[in-house]
Copies of this chain bind each other. A is one copy, B any other.
Amino acid sequence: MTDPRAQIGTTGKRLSRRSMLAGAAAGVVAPAAIASLGGSAATAQGNSKGDSGKTRRITMYAEEFPDGNVGYGLAPGKASIPGPILEIWEGDTLEIDLVNNTDRRLSIHPHGVNYSVDSDGSPLNDSFNEPGETRTYIWSTTAPYKASGNMWMPGSAGYWHYHDHALGGAHGTEGLRKGLYGALIVRRKGDILPERQHTVVFNDMTINNKVAPHVPILEANLGERVEFIAIGHGNTFHTFHLHAHRWANNRTGILEGPKDPSQVVDNRDLNPGDSFGFQVIAGEGVGPGVWMYHCHVQFHSDGGMAGIFLVRNEDGSLPDGAQAALDRYHGHEHGGDHPHGH
């Protein structure tokens, strides 16, 4: 149920990047095309032409796992940690019927989008689901608009996230600790669409509530356009580092033209409540292989905040040396500071 392969999706065919990019540029490839690869179920219903201004309605289920963790899912019995990637176009509205199948009060609270106090998801605004209760939360989005001179007020497009804000108290601290979180993407017309998507949540001293060597193996084939959505939660500070790939520290991770002044990074702060996203071409300029992603706070990576981004050969086969590296990763229980190395 928390198998990462279930969430990231591995059954979809690989799209031609050439046609994908052409389509994205023309704004005609729909998020629906991503859904089969990325588990982005919110986009599976309608909006196949990338039009903005549509209202989509989905049902989400909050469920407890046997180990006591709690997750969101798009169907009964399908909860996962992190929850499903919810993806809409700037201008869309998303109506979520949240079914609380647990015996605890909980809610869903989004970042980045518009919502009235009724959909705040906070006990402060009396906005939550009692055990067994179903409640509708409405999130809307908007494009940038001209404010004055050449200044524009920001729109909703971004790599955002959603999470509980009620389980265990005013701020959902217990709900977050147990896994009630997921990625929310609001795309702008013209944004390039990926072929793979991975959500990485640094939640206290875990990645997606797991520690090495049990952190999800994120996979792609050489040359695929892979999207990462990184989210921070909990009580500790973190920095997200990905080996051999980099991105622009801006809205999309891609440069808005050759004069975009954004810093390019491969390591970025990822603190509670923060999120960012980016796309890389898997293995570009570096080849396939077993690439680490980890928190760069040394005690955190040594303590198990380290996972694998496995870039396979273009045909999906394992590159030379990859199995040995995977075995090394799985061979240690905590990734720790061993005087004998590994």
Contact digits for A279-309, partner B, Cβ 8 Å, 1 yes 0 no: 0010001110111101011110110001000
The answer to whether A112 and B192 have CB atoms under 8 Å apart is: no
Contacting residues, chain B, for A217 (C-beta < 8 A): none
* Interface: A196 (CB within 8 A): no
Q: How many residues of A contact B (CB 8 A)?
A: 112
The answer to whether A112 and B264 have CB atoms under 8 Å apart is: yes
Q: How far, in whole Å, are A285 and B324 apart by their CA atoms in the complex?
A: 53
Chain B, residue nearest A20 (CB): B148
Contact digits for A235-260, partner B, Cβ 8 Å, 1 yes 0 no: 10101010110111111111111111
* Interface: A214 (CB within 8 A): no
Q: A117 to nearest B CB, angstroms? A: 4
Contacting residues, chain B, for A157 (C-beta < 8 A): 264
The answer to whether A156 and B269 have CB atoms under 8 Å apart is: no
The answer to whether B122 and A292 have CB atoms under 8 Å apart is: yes
- Name the residue in A22, A259, A264, A338 with the highest tally of chain B Cβ atoms < 10 Å from its Cβ: A264
Q: Which of A3-40 contact B (CB under 8 A)?
A: 21-22, 24-25
Which of these binds chain B: A54-62, A65-73, A81-89, A167-175? A167-175
Which of these binds chain B: A44-52, A95-103, A328-336? A328-336
Contacting residues, chain B, for A190 (C-beta < 8 A): 149
The answer to whether B290 and A276 have CB atoms under 8 Å apart is: no
* Interface: A53 (CB within 8 A): no
Contacting residues, chain B, for A152 (C-beta < 8 A): 254-258, 260
Pairs A–B under 8 Å by Cβ, sample size 16: A111-B241, A115-B244, A123-B342, A125-B290, A125-B321, A126-B328, A153-B254, A153-B255, A169-B337, A169-B339, A170-B341, A170-B342, A234-B298, A235-B297, A268-B274, A269-B269
